[in-house]
Chain A
Amino acid sequence: MPLYILKRFIMMIITVLIIATLTFVLMRAIPGSPFDEERTSNPTIQANLEKFYKLDQPMPIQYLNYLKSIVTFDYGPSIKKPNESVNTLLARGFPISFELGMATIIVAVISGIILGTFAALRHNGIIDYMAMTFAVVGISIPNFVLATLLIQQVAVNWHLLPPATWSSPKHMILPVIALATGPTAIIARLTRASMLEVLTQDYIKMARAKGLSPFRIVARHALRNALMPVVTIMGTMLAGILTGTFVIEKIFAIPGMGKYFVESINNRDYPVIMGSTVFYSAFLVFMLFLVDIVYGFLDPRIKLHKKEGEV
């Protein structure tokens, strides 16, 4: 197990490095610079600015500086907001985005699994049809459309919940619903499909022949086996939710990372682009790693490591 984790860790570092390099190349491939403004400024000031941010040096040196900043986790100040370093931006914005993302994942997983399980247990029944109708609708409606609909109806017309910002748990409800509906629908469909398959397995029949209660059969024998595909999709879904937060944050005026991220690209704010991309990709790669670990716990047949003497 420790060996496996070490191996995975090295792979994770390489992955992040590749992403970082690609980001660097793409970032510089976009025409324009952070100092482009409508009014052309004094060339000396421009040169001084470039010197201050070390943008006057040759590309390979800049790339090395960039790698160094990744390793030391110090990206320096933002170009557009000189008073704030990239780290303070991340420290301020990421926890909020993380909260939104995690709340979404938790809501999506729990409600998706429950919905899918009941749909499978009542196969071709009214619950099944309702759940699957919801799933199709949920997958089809983009989250930004749902977000604006929710604001219009729930917040503006009915005055039930606050329409924007991020200051109390009440404020979380609408953005989380908007963001979680799609993933919930996908998880529900997956759970249903794999649950239907598991329920026909011999070991379920055997569990019934043991005289176990229906609840125990589902909770203990069926669910764990049915969840494998759900865990598999969790990794990619996380990526989707993380990027989804950018849009949702914009709509609900949530002060998370999304705003800075999008702005930084528009402004060619190199340090912020680099910092947030590397941070996000590192986070995502780590989550994928967690998913693999969970996999091993769910299914003992998947071995994460080789024991001595075993093949």
Chain B
Amino acid sequence: MDVIGQQLANASSLENAPAIKEHQPGSGIATEENRKQKKTISQEIMLSVRDLEVSFKTFGGEVQAIRGVSFDLYKGETLAVVGESGCGKSVTANTIMGLIPQPPGRIRNGEVLFKNRDLTKLNKKALREIQGVDISMIFQDPMTALNPTLKIGEQLMEGLRTHHKVSRGEAKRKAVEMLNLVGISNPEERLKQYPHQFSGGMRQRIVIAIALICEPELLIADEPTTALDVTIQAQILELFDEIQRKTGVGIILITHDLGVVAKIADRIAVMYAGKIIEIGNKREIFYDPQHPYTQGLLNSVPRLDLQEEELKPIEGTPPDLFAPPEGCPFAARCPFAMEVCERVYPATTQLTTQHTVDCWLQDPRAQSVIN
């Protein structure tokens, strides 16, 4: 968490709290960050999610977990999806990955375009040829993501051997190479060990190695550092960064931890109640958040550079997704809510080429709100 604080403190040009209604296009594209990151993000879209709607049947009715999510992912970039628990982050990830059990899950609408194919329409067999090969996933808890009864080597190699039909020797060579890449020493020996012989951080490295062994173009990381110690978190995040620069893999990072986001994301999508309410590059979201929810989210993170004693939590709770509100789902908790907010969902406003927000405050008829 304190990473943000440091980052904010470091960015000399922007010492103040996020201000509303003060667009600063181009400002603060700070220099230090860009110099450090030599990543090449091309303008080519590799994954395009369009109007995705996913719901789950439960005894109590149908939960509308995702209610129209659209975003693009460019080649070689890291897109962070942030939001509080239950906002649909993980469902989005699992839908892209084709891991939504149907039933009870149902993809009601929308498409996930990858390599000119709609992943939501593929049959299971065709999907399996993409899972693990073109798109890989990293799970939250490395303590449970590895099969306790199989050796690390087998778990590493099986994806490769299933999809690429390589020989055992070839697979082993590749497995050793992957363990080297993720920073596990003595890989030849380690291949013969079982998961319980590794620490949590080591296991997460192995999970990453497994995800990367078939050289995927897209990596979906579902809260990859949540279950780890803070010191290990930093190591794993650096590993992500390093791997991305080496392999050019696109990363969708699901997290609720803004510190993680500040460290490795290029762009940030903020989700609330099954919708992306604001999306923009890191700088725009951190220093120029336009949606009251995004502002609230940032305010509820402890900061080192401000002398305030108390955190400002967002009051209230997210809406019930069994019967989502017609208007803006945040209206009930929003300090600036207007009458219209509760009736009609706001249109998307394009602020800069990358920054868009769904909020009625952007409407010219709205009163300007200044903190």
Contact = CB atoms under 8 A, between A and B. Distances in A.
Interface of A: 201-203, 205-213, 216, 220-221, 224-225, 298-301
Contact of B131 (A201, A211, A225, A300): A211
A213 B129 CA distance: 10
B21 interface: no
Contact of B144 (A202, A209, A211, A220): A202
A301 B194 contact: yes
A58 B131 CA distance: 79
B194 A209 contact: no
Given A205-B99, A206-B139, A206-B145, 15 more contacts: A203-B148, A205-B145, A209-B132, A210-B131, A210-B158, A212-B128, A212-B132, A212-B158, A220-B158, A221-B147, A225-B148, A225-B149, A299-B149, A300-B196, A301-B196
Contact of A301 (B131, B148, B159, B162): B148
Given A211-B132, A299-B148, A300-B196, A205 B139 contact: yes
Nearest to A206: B145
Nearest to B193: A300
A123 to B, nearest CB: 11
Nearest to A228: B149
B149 A300 contact: yes
B235 to A, nearest CB: 21
Given A211-B162, A300-B196, A203 B130 contact: no
Nearest to B139: A202
A211 B214 CA distance: 11
Contacts of A224: 149-150
B99 A210 contact: no
Interface string B133-164: 10011011100111111100000001100110
What 5 pairs across the A-B complex have the smallest Cβ distances? A211-B131, A211-B132, A210-B132, A202-B144, A210-B159
Interface string B199-215: 00000000100110000
A300 B128 contact: no
A224 to B, nearest CB: 5
Interface string B298-326: 00000000000000000000000000000
A201 B132 contact: no
Contacts of A205: 99, 139, 145
A122 to B, nearest CB: 13
A220 B159 CA distance: 13
A232 to B, nearest CB: 15
Contacts of B163: 211
A206 B131 contact: no
B131 to A, nearest CB: 4
A221 B146 contact: no
Interface string B53-90: 00000000000000000000000000000000000000
A126 to B, nearest CB: 16
A299 B140 CA distance: 23
A212 B150 contact: no
Contacts of B131: 208-211
B253 interface: no
B133 A207 contact: no
B97 interface: yes
A298 B149 contact: yes
Interface string B89-129: 00000000101000000000000000000000000000111
Main secondary structure of the interface of A (DSSP, over half): helix
Contacts of A210: 131-132, 158-159, 162, 210
Contacts of B144: 201-203
Nearest to B154: A220
7 contacts: A206-B146, A209-B136, A209-B139, A211-B130, A212-B128, A221-B147, A299-B148
A74 B161 CA distance: 58
A242 B129 CA distance: 50
A2 to B, nearest CB: 22
B147 A225 contact: yes
Contact of B148 (A211, A220, A300): A300
Contact of B97 (A201, A202, A209, A298): A209
Nearest to A227: B149
A126 B195 CA distance: 37
Contacts of B130: 211
Contacts of B162: 210-213, 216
Nearest to B143: A202
B359 to A, nearest CB: 35
Name which of B147, B148, B162, B211 has the most chain A CB atoms within 10 A of its CB. B147
A207 B146 CA distance: 9
A205 B128 CA distance: 13
Nearest to B146: A203
A221 B159 CA distance: 13
A201 B140 CA distance: 12
A228 to B, nearest CB: 9
Nearest to A222: B147
A210 B211 CA distance: 8
Name which of B131, B149, B163 has the most chain A CB atoms within 10 A of its CB. B149
B42 to A, nearest CB: 26
B137 A209 contact: yes
A205 B220 CA distance: 14
Contacts of B137: 206, 209
A202 B150 contact: no
A300 B146 CA distance: 13
Contacts of B145: 202-203, 205-206
A201 B144 CA distance: 7
Name which of B97, B141, B146, B158 has the most chain A CB atoms within 10 A of its CB. B158
Contacts of B149: 224-225, 298-300
A174 to B, nearest CB: 38
B133 to A, nearest CB: 6
Nearest to A297: B149
B99 A211 contact: no
Contacts of B148: 203, 225, 299-301
A205 B99 CA distance: 8
B212 to A, nearest CB: 12
